[in-house]
Structure 1
Amino acid sequence: MHPGCHNDPNMAPAQPLRILELYSGIGGMHMAAKESGVPFEIVGTYEINTTAVEVYQHNFPDNGKRSTKPRNIMGLTTDHLASLHPDLIMMSPPCQPFTRQGLKRDVEDARTSSLLHVLDLLSSVPHPPKMILLENVSGFETSIAREKLIGVLTQRSYIWQEFLLSPTQFGVPNSRLRYYILAKQKPASLPFTTSNKIEEEFPLCLCVKEASRGDDINRCSWCSKPSLPTIHHVMYKTHASHLQTTSHHHAAHTQPPAPLGNNLRPDTNIECHSHSVEVLSRGHTQTPSHLYTTYTQLPSPLSNYLDSDTNMEPYLLSDKVLSKYHMILDIVDSGSQRSCCFTKGYAHYVEGTGSVVQHNTSISMSEIYSEVEKMEDESGKLELLRRLQLRYFTPSEVARLMYFPGWFSFPDTTTDRQRYRLLGNSINVLVVTCLLLTLIEG
């Protein structure tokens, strides 16, 4: 077990975790560390996007009394890395070199040069960090860059585990398949049995149980996976936080977001208590004894993540988009339990950038589309499609689906297009929080 971590989430660690945040963006990794409840100190941040840095500064104005300013990772030296002596490096390097849209140029892409520089530093620094957490797109696992990363980890005596995980596995109705690697210097260990293959399931129990349930805390009796109370604690806290946030935005909200439970029995009896929302909205942070007496189904509906007090007019799809792209749109509504991954091009490009919402649910989408297919008059088609009130997710809804905490916000000067781009380049905070807690245990 890491010296700064205890099984009891209420116990303070002896020393704060020293985190170096590379490719810090708008602070997703910092938020995951904060949401984990583990005391930490950010010893350095590196990000060259000035707009991202402004958002970071807005949410972390003192950043542990260290100034946050645009800095190029290529300027990080071995001596400076050694002087920071981080316990943990958290990073999400540029993904474009490993995507189809980015032509998959891998290490030949100039955008990979900073990652290769970091690997050179890790191979030469006298005392490398005890732990590394890296996130990237699906596709990184077959890259030469990944081979070089594994080579450095082997050279510096790390153990590691690779994953391909999506938020849908954590109860979030949003697909965002990403590559993750957790690495820890020997003789430390991870709280599960590692393998050489890339795992496609989270290795620990994600079942949220009633607080008074007396199961063995080392292994879940339902899914048989190793169980860490710290993960259950943060999962409940983040879901409760989202409940309070969405209750503020969604007046008709009557059910709590479904807690996590990756391996549910098919005969699970689902029961959501009508007074759960009332209890949480009064600001209680501990699990009420009556709340979630059973496992609940996954994922939760999008209604838990949508705004209701926002003017939707600016987010309606234009007539041009409706006319040209209506047959390739991925359409969801408030009752849907899924949505597609949001990319940095969301609301600017249409194909493959994320789902859109049918705001008017009083009419049938299938019936409208059936009528549209029969019509030859383009103006008539457009009139029918307008009735659905198809709209983009708002930036706040995208942030909520990526599990940014309720206290996160953008500066007023940040445009919607900038917000979509920054969110599309960021991480799912809940997934990284669970991985972080997994990494520091053991």
Structure 2
Amino acid sequence: MALPTDLLSLKACEFFSGIGAFSEALLLSFAEKVSVIQAFDQSAWANQVYLLNHGLAPDKRSLATIKPASIAKEASLWWLSPPCTPFSRRGQRKDLEDERAQPFLHLLSLLPSLRPTYVFIENVIGLEGSRMENHLRTVFAENNYALGSIKICPSQFGVPMLRPRLFYLAIDALSDAPSSRRLEDGSIFLPIEDFRVSEEKRRLSAYLLPEAEAKLSPRLSQEEFERYESVLNVINVLDVLDGKDQTARAICFTSGYFRCRKAAGSMLRDEMGVRYFHPREILALLGFSPRFVLPQDLSAKVVYKLLGNSVDVRSIVYLLQSLFGAGHA
């Protein structure tokens, strides 16, 4: 489907922008068609990274209390990556009772007055079946939006990483009826196998840095390794590089990757011991381009937290292509 004429200068707001995965996806697919004119995040560190890479300083105001007048009315596309803690096991799934869900709830309350044409929402699979999901479905239905959802994991693109996420796409049925009908019957989503990476990129070895750079990654002491060995997911680098292990996959990197040993992300064993994935290796697995940079003054703990909170760029590209049509990458 060709991009409609009225979308040739689409303006977007990126809420809970983090390091800018949505803006990164636009650079890789629709840079000349869609532009982010506002971004919002309360993390000074994330905003530093965002400004460095995307040339826009995100607004630090709280989205739990922001006034409609502070959000650009000309932005007809919203991207939301709200905190996942209210819907995750680590956050004890407090759902609507979690104060971190309040910004998400408040933005949904602004839909009737600001009425963006397109709304994307990304979160953990735990959002499915929650009271928040019931609420968002009610809000969109009452305001005449068509709503569709899809679960996407980078492994579906052939990327050797497990990071399943739930995505919603809402379209104002009063302004874009054809697309909204395709959304409701599910036909709007393109075959995901058409977006698989090259054969080379399906192996973990394609994402690992040369030894000289990789050795700079933080490492676990032998004492730490022995203490947490039973809960660690450790991948043998030599087996990956020499082809013995062609099916190795990293498990989801979380914001607690650098401080929590259990189910926070895979680690690598090389000749020097057990190390963390280098930030550049994680960025590559998430689909960020090699030109993406991280400020030198950020600590390892901060960098890993920012990366763990980010979004798979390929998944966003896939959603944009499904909505606006292929052939623009």
* TM-score computed with the length of structure 2 as normaliser: 0.87
Q: Deviations over 1:174-220 (max 9, x none)?
A: 00011110111111425956459xx9xx9422445xxxxxxxxxxxx
- Is 1:68 matched up with 2:68? no
**Are residue 48 (structure 1) and residue 48 (structure 2) matched?**
no
CA distance in 2, matches of 1:434, 1:71: 30
Instruction: Find the aligned partners of 2:68 and 2:277 in 1 and give their Cα distance.
Output: 43
Q: Structure 2 counterpart of 1:393, which letter?
A: F
Which one-letter code corresponds to 1:24 in the other structure? S
Q: Deviations over 1:101-135 (max 9, x none)?
A: 1011111011011111001101x31x511111100
Q: Deviations over 1:138-194 (max 9, x none)?
A: 110121111111111101211121122211011111000111101111114259564
- The within-5 A match list for 1:73-112 is 73-81=63-71, 83-112=72-101
Q: Which moved further from structure 2: 409-418 or 31-40? A: 31-40
Counterpart of 2:26? Answer: 33
Match of 1:174 in 2: 161
Q: Which has the higher strand share?
A: 2
The amino acid across from 2:249 in the alignment is R
SS of the residue corresponding to residue 231 of structure 2 reads: coil
Measured against aligned partners, the alpha-carbon deviations of 1:43-80 in whole angstroms (never above 9, x if no partner) come to 2111101111011111122x3xxx43422213432334
SS in 2 for 1:118: helix
Structure with higher Rg: it is 1
CA distance in 2, matches of 1:435, 1:406: 22
- Aligned partners of 1:98 and 1:143 also within 8 Å: yes
Distance between the aligned counterparts of 1:193 and 1:438, measured in 2? Answer: 10
Conserved 8 A contact 1:43-1:84? no
Question: Quick check: 1:164–1:177 contact (8 Å CA) kept in 2?
Answer: yes
Equivalents in 1 of 2:101, 2:265: separation in Å? 26
Partner of 1:221: none
Whole-Å Cα distance in 2 between the matches of residues 115 and 357 of structure 1?
A: 36
Post-superposition shift, 1:347? 2.6
RMSD, matched Cα: 2.6
Query: Structure 1 residues 191, 430: CA separation in 2 closer, same or farther (over 3 Å shift)?
Result: farther
CA distance in 1, matches of 2:171, 2:230: 47
Q: How many residues are matched? A: 313
SS at match of 1:414: coil
Gaps of 5+ in 1: 7-11, 209-231, 240-254, 258-299, 361-385
Question: Counterpart amino acid of 1:330?
Answer: N
Contact 1:133 1:436 in 2 (8 A): no
Task: Give runs of aligned pairs for residues 207-286 of structure 1, distance below 5 A.
Answer: 207-208=193-194, 256-257=200-201
Q: Which residue of 2 aligns with 1:341?
A: 252
Q: Would you tell me which structure has more helix in proportion to its own residues? A: 2
Paired residue for 2:134? Answer: 147
Aligned partners of 1:91 and 1:134 also within 8 Å? yes
Tell me which amino acid in the other structure corresponds to 1:337: A
* Residue in structure 2 matched with residue 183 of structure 1 by the alignment: 170
Q: TM-score, normalised by structure 1?
A: 0.66
Residue 425 (structure 1) aligned with residue 309 (structure 2): yes
Q: Tell me what 2:319 maps to.
A: 435
Equivalent AA in structure 1 for residue 26 of structure 2: A
Q: CA deviation at 1:13?
A: 7.9
CA contact under 8 A between 1:317 and 1:390: conserved in structure 2? yes
Q: Name the CA shift for 1:311/1:428 in 2 (closer, same or farther; >3 Å).
A: closer
CA distance in 2, matches of 1:311, 1:128: 47
1:284-307, CA deviations, whole angstroms, 9 ceiling, x for partnerless residues?
xxxxxxxxxxxxxxxx11100000
Superposed displacement of residue 86, structure 1: 1.4
> For the Cα contact (< 8 Å) 1:165–1:179, is it kept in 2?
yes
Greater than 4 Å deviation, 4+ residue runs: 190-193
For structure 2, the 5+ residue unaligned runs are 241-245
